[in-house]
A and B are shown apart, each in its own frame.
Chain A
Amino acid sequence: MFQRLPNASGERVSFTIDGRAAEALSGDSVAAALIANGVQTCRATPVSGAPRAPYCMMGVCFDCLVTIDDVGNQQGCLVRVRPGMRVETQNGKREIER
């Protein structure tokens, strides 16, 4: 669980998480935006199905993999959230068509 500091300022960005409307700040990465919106798990592993969430936030661990605008296996911590972006949590392996 994370919360925004009361005086953190910035432009609001509207996007969706698994089809639900969500809001972020313009400098947020997708991974930070998920965390700011209380998303606890962003994927299930392909090996055992265990839940995972962002661990390193700097492009190293690959635990923040999500589907962004229909493209799977994106490192959420390396992509900046954009207005209208569609972010989906991932279950297992990347799907064949995206």
Chain B
Amino acid sequence: MSDLKPRYDLAVIGAGPAGLAAATLAAQRGLSTVLLDEQRAPGGQIYRAVTQTPVKNPSVLGSDYWHGADLVGPFRDSGADYAPGSTVWSVSRSLDIGLSRDGAARVLPARHIILATGAIERPFPIPGWTLPGVMGAGAAQILLKTSGLVASGNVVLAGTGPLLWLLAWQYLRAGARIDVILDTTPRENWRQAMPHMGAFARSGYVAKGLKLLLEVRRKVKVIGNVTSLKAEGDGRVQSVLYRQGDGAEQRLPADTLLLHHGVIPNINLANATGCAQNWDEAQRCWVPTVDAWGATSVEGVSIAGDGAGIGGALAAEHRGRLAALDALHRLGVLDRATRDRDAAPHREALDKAQRGREFLDTLYSPAKDFRVPQDETIVCRCEEVTAKQVRDAVKLGVSGPNQTKSFLRCGMGPCQGRLCGPTVVEVIADARGVSPAEVGYYRLRPPVKPITLAELASLPKAEDEIAAVMHH
């Protein structure tokens, strides 16, 4: 761990593929660069624990995972400073970064900032999703990567999306058991995805994806066209209730239920910084508005990787390099022509990596019933607010998520809307009969992660600041 300098040309926040690639390129080109990351080791979530996983058999996690090591090596040699275990709770328009490390807070100024905060799992609100034993499939994958832990007993996977199938494949490779996969991919998605099949067929994902799907389907019972899900249990999950199509409700025993229906950008820091954002209808989520270099509406702040719209891990690293080249240009190191020339191979690689994305987005778009839950379902896990309470608030005239905060405390718990925001937006939009674009999103404010008064008190103070308080 390196000691931090008083200021940097470039600060990159998040050590996944986008952040690692951006920091590496910038430092190689001579910018004083720091990479700040909340985790203790580089890799982000996709390459989580790639330098230290206890899962040593490379065929369990697969070659795409081990590609992460190709990013960490050059980063370590790049000369960039690295600050793991750093929680960034604020980025100001004047490019000051508020962060906490080891229980002490500080403010770090930079000339340019690249947010590489990646993706989070799309909230999957079903009745009983707060019960112990119900987790995100991504959470189970993190337990596998970091600790070599796999679910045991009756294990049920439910939902849709590439990560669900990848986790199933990795579990089988590891020798773990999966009872059933409840596939919630809506039937009509196939028809809608077909026009995008051509581009997908020319991408690098087809052969790999098909092989993986076939291997999982050969070994695990897959129940398709699942239209409702419910977790039940006394103190923890004990069974899963599901419906196939219009069929009767069925019950399965479950000690662990792993839910997944896609990932969405982690936008909290960008939103709190004041970066403009827009509703992405194809990916059904709010995304920060960026140009082809990842530049946001806030001067000096760019976003690289999935945090600016889901593109996947390979796209993320190229987006990181493009954002770094643009930072070099903005800081006066590269002229425009050089930036554009040097960007050409990365842009070409990005186009290739993004080929077929429309097909995946359309095929794995989650069904409305799972985005807009029934009345009894808890929407806000922190404050335990149900979908019915949100609907009742709409009847009283609430038109957007910021008002649900004052009516219901919805979104005001410690997760700061990360686990309820997307659902609250969908429920309000549905109840009002308008697009989520019209409903908006939470207006988030720093600190975007809770910090203690002791941490705040540890911020260095100037003489005049102390004097201002002492003499009043």
Contacts and interface: CB of A to CB of B under 8 A. Distances in A.
A54 B148 contact: no
Interface string B87-130: 10000000000000000000000000000000011000000001
Contacts of A62: 382, 413-415
A62 B147 CA distance: 20
Interface string A52-89: 11111111111101000000010001101000000000
Contact of B136 (A29, A53, A56): A56
Contacts of B235: 40-41, 51
A40 B236 CA distance: 8
A95 B87 CA distance: 23
Given A3-B152, A40-B133, A58 B138 contact: yes
A36 to B, nearest CB: 6
Contacts of B49: 27
B147 A50 contact: no
A28 B145 CA distance: 10
B48 to A, nearest CB: 8
A2 B143 contact: yes
Interface in B389-429: 413-415, 418-419
The CB with the most chain A CB atoms within 10 A, among B57, B135, B152, is that of: B135
B338 interface: no
B383 interface: yes
A35 B143 contact: yes
Contacts of B150: 2-3, 5
Contacts of A27: 49, 52-54, 146-147
B174 A40 contact: no
B153 interface: yes
Contact of A32 (B52, B133, B143): B143
A23 to B, nearest CB: 12
A17 interface: no
> Could you tell me the dominant secondary structure of chain B's interface residues?
loop
Contact of B153 (A1, A4, A55): A1
The size class of the interface chain A forms with chain B is 35 or more
Contacts of A3: 149-150, 152
B230 to A, nearest CB: 16
Contacts of B40: 80
A36 B146 CA distance: 12
B52 to A, nearest CB: 5
A35 B142 CA distance: 12
B151 interface: yes
A77 B40 CA distance: 11
A15 to B, nearest CB: 14
A32 B121 contact: no
> Could you tell me the dominant secondary structure of chain A's interface residues?
loop
A41 B130 CA distance: 11
Nearest to B382: A62
Nearest to A62: B414
B256 interface: yes
A91 interface: no
Contact of A55 (B136, B256, B384): B136
Nearest to B266: A60
Contact of B139 (A8, A58, A65, A78): A58
Nearest to A36: B149
A18 to B, nearest CB: 16
A5 B135 contact: no
Nearest to B54: A8
Given A5-B148, A40-B236, A80-B40, A57 B139 contact: yes
B414 A56 contact: no
Contacts of B383: 47
Contacts of A50: 130, 384
A19 interface: no
Contact of A61 (B131, B142, B418): B418
B132 A65 contact: no
A35 B149 contact: yes
Interface in B366-389: 381-384
B175 interface: yes
B236 A9 contact: no
A32 B147 contact: yes
A32 B53 CA distance: 13
B130 A78 contact: no
B38 interface: yes
Nearest to B39: A78
B341 interface: no
A81 B431 CA distance: 45
Given A45-B384, A51-B236, A60-B419, A7 B147 contact: no
15 contacts: A1-B133, A1-B151, A5-B149, A8-B54, A10-B148, A32-B146, A36-B149, A40-B236, A45-B384, A53-B135, A56-B135, A56-B138, A57-B142, A78-B87, A80-B40
Q: Closest 4 CB pairs between A and B?
A: A8-B148, A53-B132, A57-B139, A62-B414
Interface of B: 38-40, 45, 49, 52-57, 87, 120-121, 130-136, 138-139, 142-143, 146-153, 174-176, 235-236, 255-256, 266, 381-384, 413-415, 418-419, 449-450
Interface of A: 1-5, 7-10, 25, 27-29, 32, 35-36, 40-41, 45, 47-48, 50-63, 65, 73, 77-78, 80
